[in-house]
Amino acid sequence: MKKNKMEENNTPEKQESNELQEEDKIPEETGQIDLEETDETISESKEGTDTEEEKLKAEVAEWQNKHLRLYAEFDNFKRRTSKERLELLQIAGKDVIVDLLPVLDDFERAQKSMETASDIEAVKEGVKLVHHKLKNTLAGKGLKEMDSKGKEFDAEVHEGITNIPAPTSDLKGKVIDELEKGYYLNDKVIRFAKVIIGS
């Protein structure tokens, strides 16, 4: 009887249903394994992105630091150069002024001697000497007088004040007289000659 009952329990229909139940269980288990695997891969990828993000943040911070340093250095450079330029402008004429001081001393001596001088010729001679010394000092610094009289009018170096009828035909368009001398400094015009032109 017992055998019959067992055989009844193991009928082909029962066996099929048992097999189906087992098959149903397998996908559930495999499904759970897949989910766990995906969770692990997600956590791994999160860790990967976290480290990449941290690296990028560190790199950005480093570049910002470099940028700030460069900006500060450039700002210091600008301040330093502007200060040096200002100092250079303030003492640019120092050499010339130091060389002109003896001429100034000569003028002061000439002025004192004029107060008590009875011989006008001696005073004239003294003034000529001081003038000559001044011209030589300035020439040593690169100053050169323009020679304009009788030359063709040149707008590059001359400043025409007025036109007058030329006394001779060969003086037409030429400098007849010079009201104010022109000067070169190391072959560069620093003052135009003020001239009268023949027409």
User: Between helices 94-116 and 120-140, what is the axis angle to 10°?
Assistant: 180
pTM: 0.53
pLDDT digits (tens, 9 = 90+) for 33-73: 454 555 555 555 555 567 888 899 999 999 999 999 999 99
pLDDT digits (tens, 9 = 90+) for 128-176: 999 999 999 999 888 999 988 888 888 899 998 988 888 888 888 888 8
Which two structure tokens, joined as six digits, stand for 81?
């150069």
Which residue carries 């001697």 as its tokens? 113
